Amino acid sequence: SAVISQKPSRDICQRGTSLTIQCQVDSQVTMMFWYRQQPGQSLTLIATANQGSEATYESGFVIDKFPISRPNLTFSTLTVSNMSPEDSSIYLCSATGTEYGYTFGSGTRLTVV
Amino acid sequence: SQKIEQNSEALNIQEGKTATLTCNYTNYSPAYLQWYRQDPGRGPVFLLLIRENEKEKRKERLKVTFDTTLKQSLFHITASQPADSATYLCALAESSASKIIFGSGTRLSIRP
């Protein structure tokens, strides 16, 4: 199955600033996704990163706040824009597999102060 | 509305016993269901996938059942070990090319 490198692993950011999270997959994958995980809770899907077209966002998430890029089949970025303390969370990217399920990055722990 | 529920926020069992975790869903027609393990500070790790036309699947000490009539999956760990302590997540996908949606997770603790 694919291996995903996600960075940064953690960051502390000032409110009002933006952070871009990167995910690099070691093989071409059809679909990539971005999730958010609040402390002690399950994963919430933010959006599907589509190669060559705009991302597909889930209810409650908008492009202006979480712009996503997917320039090729191995790379994607998620930007958390104009951050507030409510954006403090763990952000995870994932990529599709078949019999091997979905592979996840190790996550980015974001703290907004 | 669509919902995925995993019974028992936390489950504590004795080493050597079988741990059984439940995943119930409503207003979904999943093509397949997956189970993941997540350790603190790490991303989920895929364990097993079961398709809608499969009743049961096994992998070493793990067994998953899938009942599309009851809209339920059961995840069993036999001969449990303290190293099995983690949070276990079920996830549904409505097709092989679609996003997956996660349940709330069950935190499993195996005591020696």
> What domains does chain A contain, in order, with CATH numbers?
4-112 (2.60.40.10)
Question: Across the interface, which of B45, B47, B105 has its CB nearest the CB of A42?
Answer: B105
pLDDT at B1 > cutoff 80: no
d(CA A77, CA A55): 11
What's the rounded mean pLDDT across residues B8-18? 91
- Res A30: pLDDT: 85
Q: What is the pLDDT of residues B46-78, one digit of tens each?
A: 999 999 899 999 999 999 999 999 999 999 999
**Mutant choice from B100, B101, B107 vs A, greatest count of A C-beta within 10 A:** B100
Residue B13, classified by CB atoms within 10 Å of its CB into exposed (0-12), middle (13-18) or buried (19+), is middle
In the three-class reduction of DSSP (H, G, I as helix; E, B as strand; rest coil), residue A57 is classed as strand
CB A74 within 8 A of CB A29: yes
How many other CB atoms are found less than 10 A from the CB of residue B2?
Answer: 10
Residue A91, classified by CB atoms within 10 Å of its CB into exposed (0-12), middle (13-18) or buried (19+), is buried
d(CA B39, CA B60): 20
pLDDT at B96 > cutoff 90: no
CB B63 within 8 A of CB B47: no
Residues of chain A with pLDDT under 50: none
> What domains does chain B contain, in order, with CATH numbers?
3-111 (2.60.40.10)
CA neighbours closer than 13 Å in the CB half-sphere of residue A39: 6
B46 in reach of chain A (CB within 8 A): yes
CA neighbours closer than 13 Å in the CB half-sphere of residue B72: 8
d(CA A37, CA A108): 10
Beta bridge partners of B13: B110
CB contact under 8 Å between A33 and B99, yes or no, is yes
